[in-house]
Amino acid sequence: MKYLGQSGGHLIKISKDPDNWILALVFLTPAFFLVVKSVATTSLFLVFFISCWAIFKEPRKYFVKRGAQFWVMVVCLLSPFLAEFLAQLGRGDLIASSLDGPSRAILAAAAFVYFSRKECKHLVSALSIGSGVGIALLFLYLQVFPEYYWGNRAATHFVDPITLPCYTVVLMGLYLYGDSSRIPTRVSDFVKPLIFVKPLIFVKPLIFVITVYIAIESQSRSSWVAAMVSITVYLLYSFKASLMKQILAMLVLVLGVFVIFNFSDVFRGRSLEAYEGLVTFFEVGGGQATSAGQRMILLLIDFELVKENFFFGVADGVMPSFEYLKALVPSLNAEIYEIKTLAGSHSEMSGQLVRKGFFLGTFVLWGFFVYPLYLIISGYMAQKFISGTSQKLLGLVVPVLISGLTIQVFNLKMTMSFYVLSLAIFFACYHREHELIKSE
């Protein structure tokens, strides 16, 4: 009762500050991202309105005397909208529905402008803690509502078995790199009774185990690869001061994969199926009956579509005839053509190039992946951001990038909203750190 009384008093105080509303939204977004429909989109809109009100009152504060890095980050966040709009202009056909998802980038860019003038490390911490809570809530959801499974594959009432584990791995990455010590004192006093502000040492391994469980339950091999790459990067980062610890960590990871392979029929069966499909594709040009082989053929189709529509890409829902594509890709069959027609590309990388053309598609990939990776690498090389925001970006960018090689990761408005909001927070925090170092 004492804690509840204190929490109620603190809640009244912090609710009067718009920044605390943003902090709450940033925490709630990953916490309910995969279990409550539209939470990411709703949060992004609310953050946008709060940000715009502050910017409108003091525009010079937010736009005058900003450095080159600030504007580069704004362009990065706007890249999906700008690329889609320019591609449609180039094709001479404006389609409002196709601009809906990319328009989330405008909201995130406004949030970044506002965040860039604020101390926002606590937002990174809120995003991290919310991600840990989100994984726990998703695990409970799957136990309570198994009826939403797609057959034997884990899913929720609005998230499919492909997207679900991909973004569970993203939440894991955000949690692993997080730092709860940045939560403001007045807010932590309210949060303390509800969550572990300073998690016990076993919580991170537990979050990892739950993530692996959800990924295996979903049977999504893309998420398995993303999880393995993400945890490899995290272990190498965590033990960067000791080569021996890095080697031991890698051995433990390999042993863990070996154990899962031998004791999980799903993991072993799906992995062998992918291997056999790839071997068949590369040796005889087949593999049409396997998911891995179909993905490779879909990549060949994307390659041909990019060549044919090099500058402005192909509009959503537009596909050449089966006979035309069959002449270009002999391994194409009716089933794969139907998959391509209904689901589009099975890779975010090739999909961006197909829909927007080579140059504009590359522009989006630069804004979402290449520039963030540049910040990570340059921050590490500078030795001033080794434990800072640039390294925490790894938890967001790496799993989305790896998953995006074999699935579309921004095909839903909720995933686009979540990624651009998270990226805006990291960009703003990095920019402030960079400006502080320059002023020293």
Total domains in the chain come to 1
- 126 and 183 Cβ atoms separated by less than 8 Å: yes
CA torsion through residues 349, 350, 353, 356, sign: negative
Average pLDDT in the chain = 88
The answer to whether residue 199 sits within a structural domain is yes
The answer to whether residue 97 sits within a structural domain is yes
| Mean pLDDT of the 254-277 span | 94
The answer to whether residue 324 sits within a structural domain is no
Per this entry, what is the length of the chain?
Answer: 440
| pLDDT reading at 328 higher than 50 | yes
| pLDDT reading at 243 higher than 70 | yes
Q: What is the pLDDT of residues 200-216, one digit of tens each?
A: 568 899 999 999 999 99
Residues 45-79 as b or e (16 or more Cβ within 10 Å = b): ebbbebbeebbeeeeeebeeebeebbeebbebbbb
Instruction: Name the residue with higher pLDDT: 49 or 18.
Output: 49
The answer to whether residue 238 sits within a structural domain is yes
- Alpha carbon separation from 421 to 12, 170, 244 (Å, rounded): 26, 14, 37
Structural domain span for residue 397: 2-266+301-318+339-439
Question: DSSP string covering 72-130, please?
Answer: HHHHHHHHHHHHHHHHHHHHT---HHHHHTTTHHHHHHHHHHHHTTS--HHHHHHHHHH
| pLDDT reading at 417 higher than 70 | yes
pLDDT of residue 4: 40
The pTM (predicted TM-score) of the whole model is 0.92
Q: DSSP character for 153? A: B
| pLDDT reading at 367 higher than 90 | yes
27 burial (CB, 10 Å; 0-12 / 13-18 / 19+) is: buried
pLDDT of residue 285: 73
The answer to whether residue 112 sits within a structural domain is yes
Picking from 238, 173, 204, the residue whose alpha carbon sits closest to that of residue 399 is: 173
| pLDDT reading at 70 higher than 70 | yes
The answer to whether residue 289 sits within a structural domain is no
The answer to whether residue 288 sits within a structural domain is no
Confidence of residue 180 (pLDDT cuts 50, 70, 90): low
Q: What is the pLDDT of residues 109-150, one digit of tens each?
A: 999 999 999 888 899 999 999 999 999 999 999 999 999 999
pLDDT of residue 438: 67
Q: What proportion of the chain, given as a percentage, has pLDDT over 90?
A: 68
pLDDT of residue 308: 93
| Mean pLDDT of the 30-38 span | 96
| Mean pLDDT of the 394-418 span | 95
pLDDT of residue 381: 75
| Mean pLDDT of the 80-105 span | 93
Token pair for 94: 């404006």
Confidence of residue 11 (pLDDT cuts 50, 70, 90): very low
| Mean pLDDT of the 189-205 span | 58
Tell me how far apart the alpha carbons of residues 392 and 122 are, in angstroms, rounded to a whole number: 13
Neighbours of 405 (CB within 10 A): 17
Confidence of residue 16 (pLDDT cuts 50, 70, 90): low
The answer to whether residue 80 sits within a structural domain is yes
pLDDT of residue 158: 96
Q: Supply the angle between the helices 265-284 and 291-308 in degrees, to the nearest 10.
A: 50
pLDDT of residue 312: 95
| pLDDT reading at 420 higher than 60 | yes
Confidence of residue 159 (pLDDT cuts 50, 70, 90): very high
Tell me how far apart the alpha carbons of residues 397 and 385 are, in angstroms, rounded to a whole number: 17
37 sits in which H/E element: none
Helices (H) and strands (E) in the chain, counts: 22, 0
Token pair for 310: 């090099």
Question: DSSP string covering 227-241, please?
Answer: HHHHHHHHHHHHTTT
pLDDT of residue 287: 73
Q: What is the pLDDT of residues 271-315, one digit of tens each?
A: 999 999 888 888 777 778 888 888 999 999 999 999 999 999 998
Tell me how far apart the alpha carbons of residues 124 and 425 are, in angstroms, rounded to a whole number: 7
| pLDDT reading at 348 higher than 70 | yes
pLDDT of residue 342: 86
pLDDT of residue 3: 43
